């Protein structure tokens, strides 16, 4: 490789890094601005309700169906392994802890990012491309308060509810497979589960996780939409970025949160 090619490559990496960092800075300022404009946005409670509908209610089908199937598969695979050690009665514990602590918040978060997050990005991006945001500005209406903040809070409010519904359907799916199909004792299934799953340590932590993921996904979604290039290609790239960035951030945040939350449980 010639020296100039290497220098060129380095220059591009440097430039790309610098651009990425300044974009991150812009994103941080944007996030702050959204939070500052939220009180105005929340006064228009109708708008926020509408966004809860579009982010939450319209995601119900995919969340419920996925939760059910994940729970059923978890029960099948879990039973296969547990029964080798005569521990099939612990199936309820395995399924419920997996769902409540991890799978509920994370998988629901990933599904939410792809379904609702990309929709939010596309919507805001298109509004930018067709000058609707400019028109609002010229009519002295702040787009951050009227368009961005309601979508952000709609996502933040919907996420924990969706994650809880995912876990619930998962447990039910596991019950269907474990108790009804395989024949594990129902009392053992529920009883063991109840004695191990702790409200504060497991369920509350799971809810906290899903709330954090909700903030992450909603923030990324509204930012990418607002920052999209006002062309068809720009909007399409922005939606891709939303899904990819949200997914990676959820998984990274999950790791960090898990280390802090589940530190004392039998590991450390």
Partner 1 sequence: MSPTPPARSTASFDRRRTTAVELDGVTFGYDRTRQILTGISMTIPRGQVVAIMGGSGCGKTTILRLIGGQLRPRAGRIMVAGQSVPDLDRDGLFALRREVGMLFQFGALFTDLSVFENVAFPLREHTDLSEDMIRDLVLMKLNGVGLRGAAPLATGALSGGMARRVALARAIALDPMLVMYDEPFAGLDPISLGIVGQLIRKLNDALGITSVVVTHDVYESLKIVDYLYFVSDGRIVAQGTPDAVRASRDPFVRQFVDGQADGPVPFHVAAAPLDTAFALDVR
Partner 2 sequence: MNRSTIDLWVGIFVALGLGAILFLSLKVGNLVTTGAREGYHVDATFDNIGGLKLRAPVKAAGVVVGRVEGIRLDPKTYEAVVSLAIEPQYRFTQDTIASILTSGLLGEVYVGLDAGGDAKMIADGGRIAKTQSAVVLEKLIGQFLFDKAQAGGGK
Residues that bind partner 1 (CB under 8 A): 126-127, 130-132, 134-141
Give min distance, CB of 47 to partner 2, in A: 11
Residue 167 touching partner 2 (CB under 8 A): yes
Of 46, 54, 44, 66, the closest CA to residue 110 belongs to 66
153/189 with CB nearer partner 1: 153
Helix (H/G/I), strand (E/B), else coil: 265: coil
5/199 with CB nearer partner 2: 199
Structure tokens at 41: 């946005």
Calculate the alpha carbon distances from 228 to 70, 150, 236, 237, 264 in Å: 34, 19, 9, 8, 44
**Cα torsion for 105, 42, 119, 252, to the nearest 10°?**
-30
Stretches 69-77, 202-210, 222-230, 237-245: which one binds partner 2 (CB under 8 A)?
202-210
Residue 60 touching partner 2 (CB under 8 A): yes
- CA pair distance 105, 210, nearest whole angstrom: 5
Classify residue 189 by burial, with Cβ atoms within 10 Å: 0-12, 13-18, 19+.
buried
147/238 with CB nearer partner 1: 147
- CA pair distance 219, 249, nearest whole angstrom: 11
Nearby residues of 260 by Cβ (< 8 Å), 6 or more positions away:
none
Residue 161 touching partner 2 (CB under 8 A): yes
Which one of partner 1, partner 2, none interacts with residue 132, CB within 5 to 8 A by kind?
A: partner 1
Classify residue 85 by burial, with Cβ atoms within 10 Å: 0-12, 13-18, 19+.
exposed
Which one of partner 2, partner 1, none interacts with residue 237, CB within 5 to 8 A by kind?
A: none
Residue 164 touching partner 2 (CB under 8 A): yes
Within 90-149, which residues bind partner 2 (CB under 8 A)? 96, 100
Which one of partner 1, partner 2, none interacts with residue 194, CB within 5 to 8 A by kind?
A: partner 2
Give min distance, CB of 44 to partner 2, in A: 13
Q: Which residues bind partner 2 (CB under 8 A)?
A: 46, 49-50, 52-53, 56-57, 60, 85, 96, 100, 158, 160-162, 164-165, 167-168, 171, 190, 193-195, 197-203, 207, 264-266
């Amino acid at each position: 490789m010639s020296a100039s090619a290497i220098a060129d490559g380095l220059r591009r990496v440097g430039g790309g890094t610098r651009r990425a960092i300044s974009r991150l800075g812009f994103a941080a300022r944007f996030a702050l601005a959204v939070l500052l404009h939220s009180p105005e946005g929340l006064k228009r409670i109708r708008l926020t309700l509408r966004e809860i509908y579009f982010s939450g209610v319209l995601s119900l089908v995919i969340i419920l169906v996925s939760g059910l199937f994940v729970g059923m598969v978890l029960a099948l695979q879990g039973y296969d392994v547990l029964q080798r050690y005569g521990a099939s009665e612990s199936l309820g514990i395995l399924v419920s802890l997996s769902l409540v602590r991890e799978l509920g918040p994370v998988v629901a978060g990933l599904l939410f990012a792809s379904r609702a997050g990309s929709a939010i990005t596309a919507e805001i991006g298109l509004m930018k491309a067709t000058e609707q945001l400019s028109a609002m500005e010229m009519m002295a209406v702040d787009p951050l308060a009227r368009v961005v903040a309601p979508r952000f809070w709609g996502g933040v409010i919907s996420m924990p509810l969706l994650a809880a519904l995912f876990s619930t359907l998962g447990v039910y799916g596991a019950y269907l497979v474990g108790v009804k199909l395989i024949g594990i004792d129902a009392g053992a299934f529920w009883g063991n589960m109840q004695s191990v799953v702790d409200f504060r340590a497991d369920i509350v932590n799971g809810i906290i996780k899903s709330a954090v993921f909700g903030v992450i996904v909603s923030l990324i979604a509204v930012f990418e939409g607002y920052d999209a290039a006002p062309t068809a290609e720009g909007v399409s790239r922005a939606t891709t970025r939303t899904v990819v960035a949200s997914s990676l951030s959820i998984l990274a945040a999950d790791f960090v949160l898990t280390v802090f939350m589940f530190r004392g449980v039998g590991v450390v």
